[in-house]
Amino acid sequence: FEGRNPQIDFFTIMQALESAQDNRITDIFRLRYDPDTRKKRTWAKIANQLGLTVQTTIQLHKKGLKLLQEEIATKNLDVFQNS
């Protein structure tokens, strides 16, 4: 994107994650990337809020990223906001 910082469409990403069989994945993404929050929550805060270990939280996040990659590739999703 050559010097551009595109805005990610949070709603589209959350919809794509709805196919995750583990609801904790969507919870983690919602807590980590909520557009109404100025600063990303730490893994420790997210883990504590969900009653998970930090390592489990990070592993579930990685699963969510993999799922997003698959959803974007197979459904040709546009996850960037049009400005």
- 47-65 confidence digits (pLDDT tens): 999 999 999 999 999 999 9
Query: Which is more confidently placed, 47 or 73?
Result: 47
pLDDT level of residue 1 (50, 70, 90 thresholds): very low
Q: Which tens digit of pLDDT belongs to each residue from 27-45?
A: 999 999 888 888 889 999 9
pLDDT at residue 83, rounded to an integer: 45
Asked whether the predicted pLDDT for residue 12 surpasses 90, the reply is: no
The two counts, helices (H) then strands (E), for the chain are 4, 0
Q: Per DSSP, what are the bridge partners of residue 8?
A: 80
